[in-house]
Amino acid sequence: MSQASTYWNPFVETLPPEKIRQVQLKNLRRMVAYAKQHTVFYREKYRHIEPEDIRSMADVRQLPMVEKEDLRMAQVGKEPFLFGELLGVSPEEVSDFRQTSGTTGTPVYVPESRESWQWRVEVWCHILWMAGFREVDRVFIPFGYNVYVAFWEGHYAAEKLGCMVIPGGALDTIGRLNKMQEVRATALLNTPTYGVHLAEAAKNMGIHPPDMGIRRMVCAGEPLPPATRHKLETLWGAEVYDHIGGTEPCAWAAMCGQRQGLHIMEPFFLVEMLDMENQQRDVAQGELAVAVVSALGRRSFPMIRFNTKDIVRKGSNGCGCGRTSQKIEEVAGRMDHLTKIRGVLFTPVAVEELLRGEFPQIGEYEISVERKGTLDEISLIYEPLEEMEQTAGQELSVILSERLKIKTNLTFRLLPVRPGTLPRYKLKAKRYKDMRGIQRG
């Protein structure tokens, strides 16, 4: 294959790693200078920092991090209206309004200028191109995107690639499946939850999903553990690609055709992978780390050393696809979901991985943690896909209990419920509930 068809931007994607680092540091200095000059937030935060002094990664480490809470504090009740002290351009230059989903609290409002929006779209062009999206594709997006950014980015980027884009909002699931068939869609942008739901709905209509001709799918909005990704690939007979990112910094890593780990989108971003204890030390390859992300070209909402709280495993510095960017081996969870239960570190992704990988007979599930007296109790409520005989149900719960114990070091209280009992989520699933902080009257 020629370079032109392998890469969206052959020059950028094959830069030697030393060169990537130089470009990142240069652009970080520029971004710090810009942010200090144009936002109240960074002027205050970086008052003792001179951009020219940032020469090495050790210098980068001296910059204070930005936490999600800082963003809220800089917006609520602050001028200029709506975006507050984080706005990096004049209010007249803002062309698009986005916001975070607010899953972890008050949403953050995110302004885009035309220039900053184009920067985000360009990052997404890389993501889609790596996932094999091309001019010939008809890309169906089965959502109304509202004020949430990922599918807008995917929409604009697919258009820029030359694909045909079909927005699938304001339809129900059956309407969407009909539309996909009508236009012979070849690609999907989806959440993992809805990807499964859509395939199941197709089956209920008597359609074998792989016959629909979907060849590739990029997922957004939720974690995508390997077992769930494989499940989607089997359901659709398609290649399924993961990426990671957020509304604040943009998408910053994504899968290439090898589908082994994710490439950091360098040099658009500088991503530090730091130890989870005190976030001071760069981890070695193979270790778990928290990702701290600086977006290096977006002026409307400067994001420098943003603590994503995403837990990733550091990967290699090269790949079979020929791209030279740093990789991450896997996305392992979120710091705000990483919790201690009876002294054991636990992340709900581990349960999803186990259920999707080993228990195909289980459909929906929910995990909840409660405090009973002085002890924490963790429960798994699960729903078999079909009604089960009593003995089969008991056998399932014995094996499930053992496998959960081995995978998480915790003893779960198992609560099977009848098929169709648990809520169905379409966009983003909420399958984990930690109720230990809730006072009961």
Q: For Zn ion, give the closer residue by CB, 191 or 325.
A: 325
Q: Which stretch, 98-106, 265-273, 315-323, 328-336, contacts Zn ion (CB under 5 A)?
A: 315-323
User: DSSP state, 225?
Assistant: -
Closest contact distance (angstroms) between CB of 298 and Zn ion is 24
Q: How far apart are CA 129 and CA 6, in angstroms?
A: 8
Closest contact distance (angstroms) between CB of 160 and Zn ion is 21
Closest contact distance (angstroms) between CB of 125 and Zn ion is 16
User: DSSP state, 231?
Assistant: H
Q: Residues 77, 40, 305, 51: what is their CA dihedral angle, to the nearest 10 degrees?
A: 180
Closest contact distance (angstroms) between CB of 18 and Zn ion is 19
Question: Cα 60 vs. chain centroid, distance in angstroms?
Answer: 25
Query: Degrees (nearest 5) of the Cα angle 267, 64, 36?
Result: 75
Q: For Zn ion, give the closer residue by CB, 37 or 258.
A: 258
Closest contact distance (angstroms) between CB of 253 and Zn ion is 11
Q: For Zn ion, give the closer residue by CB, 233 or 383.
A: 233
Q: Which stretch, 4-12, 119-127, 189-197, 319-327, contacts Zn ion (CB under 5 A)?
A: 319-327
Binding test (CB under 5 A) with Zn ion, winner from 125, 131, 319, 338: 319
Q: Which stretch, 11-19, 35-43, 312-320, 340-348, contacts Zn ion (CB under 5 A)?
A: 312-320
Q: For Zn ion, give the closer residue by CB, 204 or 258.
A: 258
Q: Which stretch, 170-178, 245-253, 300-308, 317-325, contacts Zn ion (CB under 5 A)?
A: 317-325
Which of the residues 249 through 308 are near Zn ion (CB under 5 A)? Answer: 256, 258
Which residue has 């539309």 as its token pair?
A: 179
Closest contact distance (angstroms) between CB of 225 and Zn ion is 20
* Lateral strand order in the sheet of 288-295: 243-246, 250-254, 262-264, 327-334, 306-314, 288-295, 269-274
CB 303 within 8 A of CB 293: yes
Q: With contacts defined by CB under 5 A, how many residues of the chain interact with Zn ion?
A: 5
Query: 85-102: string of b/e by CB count within 10 Å (b at 16+)?
Result: bbbbbeeebbebebbbbe
Q: Please say whether the dihedral angle defined by the alpha carbons of residues 407, 411, 417 and 420, taken in this order, is positive or negative.
A: negative
Closest contact distance (angstroms) between CB of 318 and Zn ion is 9
Closest contact distance (angstroms) between CB of 126 and Zn ion is 12
Q: For Zn ion, give the closer residue by CB, 117 or 252.
A: 252
Q: For Zn ion, give the closer residue by CB, 298 or 323.
A: 323
Which of the residues 220 through 259 are near Zn ion (CB under 5 A)? Answer: 256, 258
Q: Could you tell me where the beta strands, DSSP code E, fall in 58-186?
A: 94-99, 109-113, 138-141, 164-167
Q: For Zn ion, give the closer residue by CB, 155 or 327.
A: 327
CB 237 within 8 A of CB 261: no
Binding test (CB under 5 A) with Zn ion, winner from 23, 183, 321, 335: 321
Q: For Zn ion, give the closer residue by CB, 321 or 410.
A: 321
Closest contact distance (angstroms) between CB of 267 and Zn ion is 16
Which residue has 């193979």 as its token pair?
A: 286
Q: What is the DSSP string of 271-333?
A: EEEE-TTTS-SBPPTT-EEEEEEEESS--SS---SEEEEEEEEE--S--TT---S-EEEEEEE
Q: Which stretch, 168-176, 311-319, 392-400, 401-409, contacts Zn ion (CB under 5 A)?
A: 311-319
Q: Does residue 328 belong to the site contacting Zn ion (CB under 5 A)?
A: no
Q: Which stretch, 291-299, 318-326, 355-363, 402-410, contacts Zn ion (CB under 5 A)?
A: 318-326
Closest contact distance (angstroms) between CB of 238 and Zn ion is 19
Q: For Zn ion, give the closer residue by CB, 70 or 239.
A: 239
Q: For Zn ion, give the closer residue by CB, 86 or 271.
A: 271
Nearest Cα neighbor of 120 from 141, 137, 95, 90 is: 95
* 3-state SS, residue 177: helix
Q: How far apart are CA 114 and CA 224, in angstroms?
A: 31
Q: How far apart are CA 204 and CA 182, in angstroms?
A: 18
Q: Which amino acid is at 204?
A: N
Q: Which residues bind Zn ion (CB under 5 A)?
A: 256, 258, 319, 321, 323
